[in-house]
Amino acid sequence: MAITVEEVFETVNMTLQHNFDVRTVTLGINLKDCMDRRTDGLCRRIEKRIIEKGLALNQHADLIEHKYGIPITNRRISVTPVSLLLEPLPKTISTAVRVAKTLDRAASKADIDFLGGFGAMVQKGTTAAERNLIEAIPSSISATKRVCGFLNLASSAAGMNMTAIERFGHILKKLAERTEKGIGCAKIAVFSNVPEDNPFMAGAHHGTGEPDFSLNIGISGPGVVRSVIQNNPFCDLTELSEVIKRTVFKITRAGELIGREIADLMGIDFGIVDISLAATPAAGDSVARIVEAMGVSRMGRPGSTAALAMLIDAVKKGGTMASGNVGGLSGTFIPVSEDTGMIQAVQSKALSLDKLEALTSVCSVGMDMFAIPGDTPADVISAIIADELAIGVINHKTTSVRVIPVPGARSGDIVPLGGLLGSAPVMRVPQKAAKSFIQRKGRIPAPMHALRN
């Protein structure tokens, strides 16, 4: 893949002027061969491997960052779903918590920002080990700083595990109560159709179909895309789509170049480049502002869904033209707390919970990083999750929910979460939803297109 001098200068300008960065390099690590019937043996093996590979990741990421002058904001690790590692071990919450603490300690020693994979694939049913991990989530996530978790609760092929969805509402409330401002809930996401090569937290994990090691890249450039839209204020939407495609093409090429060089230095496989536009609280780094630059008066008002659909389509087309290794989530993140434009949309009442759900029907991720009052009933939380995951199941796409029930908070409050997590406006939620429906549990069968093989 040849990169011209002009492209290098253009990318450097994007970095200096418009917050372009490689949002994360995520090293996927297979831990299945670390399995042991003794907890001591498992913990010893996984700690050794994570520290060794994590230190190497940081070393080589530093070299490439200095070589090209493009910031690599986060260095992360994703591991084999931990529920698999727990299968031979005693089915106790203390066992799962100990493994989580081992992962956290290893990530800290390797100076890794976050480690993902404390989770399970339970879209159709749960094993004893998976049920144990789910029950251990409040204790494990609240006792660790860098460990992130995920649960795949639904898929287009299997349907929706409503028993697990019902239980997760209670689990999330317990986790919120154990952490200040409920912030522990920001470290776990639930999915339908979760990708197994996702470099972005909290849902990252190293899937069972992956090699022993792989290096995945997550790029981000909302500021870059917004800038080119502002520089083309009078073109029609067809031309605007082309402008966005060309821009994403360039930043994807830069991301893949960096990912491949780090992978080569480490002697491992290059995995994928995730082309998602990921917002941060930094000025100018907002996906909502892109939609508004396209001509929508405020994110959430009529026109937002159509504009977001066009944006994500152009992003995907530009990325796939640039690389044959596009994967992960690859689209547009619309997290509420991490995006200043989304925060202002909620505060101005342009964006409600209902409209947020509607927007996720065309975006790649789902209802991400939104806060609700801490006294919201567990069955209401489960119903919100069920609605969002149903969008993914029926439309054969990835959807996710990362919701923070903030203890003591009321609708309209602003909760500062700190760092990249931003500040969350607490959104109004009905106190009654579908209790009798949720308590039926069981499984919603897969739609007909699951039988298309």
Structure tokens at 156: 């287009």
* CB 74 within 8 Å of CB 65: no
**Run of H or E residues at 384:** helix 378-395
Residue 16: predicted pLDDT = 46
In order of 174, 335, 427, the CA distances from 346 in angstroms are 26, 12, 8
Residue 4: predicted pLDDT = 53
Residue 330: predicted pLDDT = 84
Measure the CA–CA gap between 198 and 274, rounded to whole angstroms: 7
Residue 22: predicted pLDDT = 80
Measure the CA–CA gap between 30 and 134, rounded to whole angstroms: 21
List beta partners, residue 423.
416
In order of 222, 266, 319, 355, the CA distances from 216 in angstroms are 20, 13, 15, 32
Residues 199-237, buried b or exposed e (16+ Cβ, 10 A)?
Answer: bbbbbbbbbeebeebbbbbbbbbbbbbbbbbeeeeeeee
Across the 453 residues of the chain, what is the mean pLDDT of every consecutive 10-residue run?
A: 52 54 89 94 96 96 87 91 95 95 97 96 96 97 96 96 98 96 94 91 91 91 84 92 90 88 94 84 80 94 95 91 87 86 94 94 87 96 97 94 95 86 90 94 88 66
What SS3 state is found at 351?
coil
Residue 13: predicted pLDDT = 57
Residue 147: predicted pLDDT = 97
pTM for the predicted model, two decimal places: 0.92
Measure the CA–CA gap between 239 and 294, rounded to whole angstroms: 12
Measure the CA–CA gap between 118 and 120, rounded to whole angstroms: 7
First-to-last C-alpha distance (Å) of the chain: 36
Residue 311: predicted pLDDT = 93
